[in-house]
Structure 1
Amino acid sequence: MTGLDQQPTSTDTTLPRGPLVGFATGSLGMGVWVTVPGLLLLYFLTDVLAVAPWLAGLALLLPKIADVLLHPWVGHRSDVAQARHGNRQRLLLLGCALPVAFAALFAVPGALTGAPAAAWVAVVFVAGNLLFAAYQVPYLATPADLRIGYHERTRLMAFRMVVLTLGILLSGLLAPLLAGGDAATRAGYQRMGLLLAAGMLVTLLVGVTGIARLRRAAATPTPTHGGGWRALVAALRDRQFRWLVAAYLAMSTTTHLVLAAVPYYAEYELGRAGLTTVLVGAFVAPALLVTPAWLVVARRLGKQRALLVAQGAFAVGSLVLALGRPAGLPVLVGAVAVLGVAFAGMQLLPFSMVPDVIRAAGAAGAGTYTGVWTATEATGAALGPYLYALSLAAGGFVASAAGETVTQPGSALAAVRYGFGLLPAALMLAALLLQRRYTLDATARAAN
């Protein structure tokens, strides 16, 4: 019996493995969208399309600002669909068009460079984020829609986390290679976008089928109303939810900053762009092994305490990375692996705590709560690369086109290193302090 197959307590409905795997498979495609733009898009703009760092950061930030409004609205529409039709399937199917936007994101037309290229990426990113919200929001509302308890919600999200990690790992390793590795070109990025988009489509459709099967196995009665904007007000007034969201904003900002910084750290601190794949592997691969362990820790300590441990470990690992090349490559790769272990906990635990909050509040608007949550994640996904782009700009980093060689000033190299180490450590410490204000976990655990 694996860690993911531990039997739930007697108060839980046990979800069958087949639908669990189908549900989790949808995270493969979601993992590509979460990972590849976060990993390569800033680098693609500054080192392939010759976009200045400040403008590149802005091109990635502005579309995410729109998400703050779009995600709660998508959550509201998801609740309306749940009330009217007894499921959220129509939005999920709309979200399956996401691969089209992903392919277009890296297919910048003609010879566009600089500001026009940044504008193309920004516009396509807005469309892609809307499609991603259409899939992600109803997808993540699933645990709150099911007749399951505290530990079974964690088990459900553990299956999702393992498969999501696999998607992050595969796309994080394949995308740089498909783009051309050390000699990446515009054509290489376009080819990469098309190939990964094809895989995304298949996995997203499998996820829709898996959700339908889970609902047949353990769906709660359909609410008579869709929550509406009153559910949004209730979510924003929910003290426990506010602290959880605030902490997750800091966590999401930190992890996306680290992801965006990896190509720069590999090339300018470690001296070889090809090490991007090694660092991504060290960051993501541990999660495939340790997610069952986090499930055990959460059962014994509770989700809240386990999450505080993960946050502390991430902060310590980030401080080691601030030492840079003098620490030696094995030590640095080991530090990235520590971040990966912590990252696994920070993906599993908060996502399984959100349905705890929804159930404790007795809220009908699970989609609205989830929309606010995913808007927070999207905001962090924007702020992370933007903060790193600002640190590069402050250090005087020089943008370049594909195949062009430039010499970076010492201040830019320092910004590459410390932006990858000290800044994430400070942000994660803030997340830890915010997370301590969340106090629902003991009550939710006792009520299982």
Structure 2
Amino acid sequence: MSRATGSAVPTSDGAPRASGDGAPTLRARMSDLLAYSSGSLGMGVWVTVPGLLLLYFMTHVLGVTPLLAGLTLLLPKILDAVVHPLLGTISDRHARRSGHRRGLLWWGLLLAVAMTAMFSVPAGLTGGGAALWIAGWYIAGNMLFACFQVPYLTTPSDLKIGYHERTRVFMFRLLLLTIGLLGAGVAAPALVASGARGDYSQMALILSGVMVVTGFAGIVGVRRLTEHSGFRAPDDREHTFLGDLKIAWRDRNFRLLVLSYLFTGTTTHLFLAAVPFYTQYVFGAPGLTSLFMGAFLAPAVFAGPMWLAVSRRLGKQRGLLLSQLIFIVGSLALAAGGTLGIAITTAVIVLLGTSFAGLQLFAFSMLPDAVAVAERGGTSRAGAYTGVWTATEATGTAIGPYLYSAVLAIGGFVSTTAGQDVVQSGFAQTALVVGITVVPAVLMVGAIAFQARCRLDRDTAS
């Protein structure tokens, strides 16, 4: 893999010189980046809270069996495999007609309704009935999330900026996303520490307010960025949904990047779902969930600039491979369990969080690189590529918790309702540790197997 070339400086006449991928080297204004990135604060709530708490909520408060709880999280995501790419095609059509993608973004603000309802399960529902209620609202929430996420993440691909500037845009997004993930990851477990059903509803209502306010700020930021940095409109040809999918899948570099991210996303969301089980059954202290989530997410606040420097030195692909290797080492270290002690375990999780920051920054900033390379080949379908990408992300968020629930089911884990305690068998406790250590390591090896074959940095710089 070749190291990507740096962005050029303006020429003597003041005109911006092209970067390695032929894009002018405009720099987005700081205020616009902060406004745009604010949209990730609220979206971080949706990414974090269901993945962190829904499985635990169902198995420990609502009496849903682990296998049924896992299916409840998995099956709604099957629709995302169709909905996200379809919204990508619709977003491209809207951009061709109106010169922007903001129409769909407004629908995403209704996600707050689904978030609140999903955790406000009627008092009479437990077991299968509760799972059905959650599944229905989870489907609605995923669709509304897609309405925001697809055009929102397409924005960096739309801007007339170069290779390193795209990484800079995503670094700011990662910073604000991390604050959202961190805030939700720490606040949500603290707000439901008592385990009462009503606390889950109140938690969802509070965090939903954050989603609405920050989502609105993100929409304003999208408008400002595209007005200042230029808008790279899709080509004038009408595209079909299936045609867009075929073109995206035939793009070898994009296909390998997507498959690698599928394994990466599955790994990280499995980890999130497993943390509450790890703190309760390995350390006997459910209150450690907030500490461990903070240790996992906080590094991205300072790791972003570090990974940006790695990107400039080694290129994004090598940086991504390095992040993946670090995650493998860190997850296997957790197999020592309680013998490490809280302090050392927290340090290991900080290492995992640093890796997580690189996984997010490099993978997401390579998405517009793939779009830029495709455009040089005569294909301009940024929305369609982003739709496939976000569908992959959504699939990973579902498969991860489902895999962990399957490991729990194999181990004979017994679900409970609020206020009841069950002593888990030794085999069940071994299974929940294997699920957060060995299984993530194996999945990340799969991610590396695909990523190592990708040549996107070389093609972007050529």
Q: TM-score, normalised by structure 2?
A: 0.93
Counterparts of 1:440 and 1:390, CA distance in 2: 35
Counterparts of 1:26 and 1:70, CA distance in 2: 21
Counterparts of 2:373 and 2:116, CA distance in 1: 41
Contact 1:83 1:226 in 2 (8 A): no
Counterparts of 2:439 and 2:247, CA distance in 1: 34
Contact 2:62 2:130 in 1 (8 A): yes
Residue number in structure 1 paired with 2:264: 251
CA deviations over 1:396-424 (Å, ceiling 9, x no partner): 00100011011101111101111111111
Residue number in structure 2 paired with 1:222: 233
Deviates more, 1:320-329 or 1:287-296: 320-329
**Secondary structure at the counterpart of residue 324 of structure 1:** helix
- Report the CA distance between 1:221 and its aligned residue: 4.5
Instruction: Extract unaligned runs of 5+ from structure 2.
Output: 1-5, 10-17, 19-24
**Secondary structure at the counterpart of residue 378 of structure 1:** helix
**Pairing 1:287-436 to 2, within 5 Å after superposition:** 287-362=300-375, 363-436=379-452
Counterparts of 1:368 and 1:264, CA distance in 2: 37
Deviates more, 1:50-59 or 1:227-236: 227-236
**Pairing 1:12-411 to 2, within 5 Å after superposition:** 12-179=25-192, 181=193, 183-223=194-234, 224-225=236-237, 227-229=239-241, 230-362=243-375, 363-411=379-427
Counterparts of 2:106 and 2:143, CA distance in 1: 13
Deviates more, 1:107-116 or 1:125-134: 107-116
Counterpart amino acid of 2:240? G
Counterparts of 1:83 and 1:27, CA distance in 2: 25
Counterparts of 2:288 and 2:252, CA distance in 1: 43
**Secondary structure at the counterpart of residue 364 of structure 1:** coil
Residue number in structure 2 paired with 1:439: 455
Contact 2:296 2:350 in 1 (8 A): yes
Q: Identity percentage over the alignment? A: 50
Contact 1:81 1:226 in 2 (8 A): no
Deviates more, 1:429-438 or 1:48-57: 429-438
Counterparts of 2:187 and 2:435, CA distance in 1: 25
Instruction: Extract unaligned runs of 5+ from structure 1.
Output: 1-6
**Secondary structure at the counterpart of residue 298 of structure 2:** helix
Counterparts of 1:22 and 1:209, CA distance in 2: 7
- Report the CA distance between 1:222 and its aligned residue: 2.9
Contact 2:99 2:231 in 1 (8 A): no
**Secondary structure at the counterpart of residue 157 of structure 1:** helix
Counterpart amino acid of 1:118? A
- Report the CA distance between 1:226 and its aligned residue: 5.2
Counterparts of 1:221 and 1:266, CA distance in 2: 47
CA deviations over 1:366-415 (Å, ceiling 9, x no partner): 11100000000111100000000000000000100011011101111101
Counterpart amino acid of 2:165? E
Counterparts of 1:98 and 1:365, CA distance in 2: 26
- Report the CA distance between 1:8 and its aligned residue: 5.6
Counterparts of 1:74 and 1:237, CA distance in 2: 20
**Secondary structure at the counterpart of residue 336 of structure 2:** coil
**Secondary structure at the counterpart of residue 209 of structure 2:** helix
Contact 2:275 2:292 in 1 (8 A): yes
Deviates more, 1:406-415 or 1:214-223: 214-223
Contact 2:80 2:142 in 1 (8 A): yes
Counterpart amino acid of 1:249? L
Contact 2:7 2:163 in 1 (8 A): no
Contact 2:154 2:382 in 1 (8 A): yes
Contact 1:39 1:259 in 2 (8 A): yes
- Report the number of matched residues: 438
